[in-house]
Amino acid sequence: MEKLHQRIGAVEAVLAATFLILMVLMILFGGLARLAAQPQNWTIDFATCLFAWACFLCADIAWRRDSLMSIELVTGRMPEGARRFLLLVNYALIAAFLIYVIYAGLQLSWTSRARSFQGIPWISYSWVTLSFPVGAALLLFTTALKVAAALGRNIEAGRPDAGAV
């Protein structure tokens, strides 16, 4: 399971980087076209679609690396058992929210399938809204692995740098 998670992470990193580069190129192209008196308004809208996908992919990359903000002022002073319990409660809340996001996002994607994105007829709005449940599913997979690591070892086991010297 861990190998699959690493492969997905590598694909996520490549896709996120590609989407961010394409987004910048689209905005640059749109600006240059406007400068040449040939505005291409679809470039900004297409960049917005790429931005939505890049955001959710990068969120999972940050979650798997434990690079998201956390405040350990109170929990750092608690006994090991209490920290483990709070960590698992936190993971359960995150998982419940992500399950809801997957459900609601798939529902939104399905209902918006006939709508075009920002008037661009060849892009369905579903491609943009699908970034939400896909990103949540990736985050849920990472959360499940963090729960398994936390249950199997000490509470630091979910961190990639745990045990590093």
In the chain, where the domains are located: 2-158
Distance between CA atoms of residues 17 and 98, nearest Å: 24
Distance between CA atoms of residues 119 and 4, nearest Å: 38
Backbone φ and ψ of 94, nearest 5°: -60, -45
Q: Alpha carbon of 36 to those of 22, 42, 47: distances in Å?
A: 21, 16, 20
pLDDT of residue 163: 40
Nearest 10 degrees: Cα torsion 61, 62, 66, 72: -160
Mention every residue, 6+ apart, whose C-beta is less than 8 A from residue 37: none
pLDDT of residue 113: 77
161 vs 77, more confident:
77
Q: Alpha carbon of 131 to those of 54, 114, 125, 138, 163: distances in Å?
A: 9, 17, 11, 10, 34
pLDDT of residue 165: 32
Lowest mean pLDDT among 17-21, 38-42, 78-82, 159-163: 159-163
Side-chain half-sphere exposure of 56, counting CA atoms within 13 A: 22
Mention every residue, 6+ apart, whose C-beta is less than 8 A from residue 151: 88
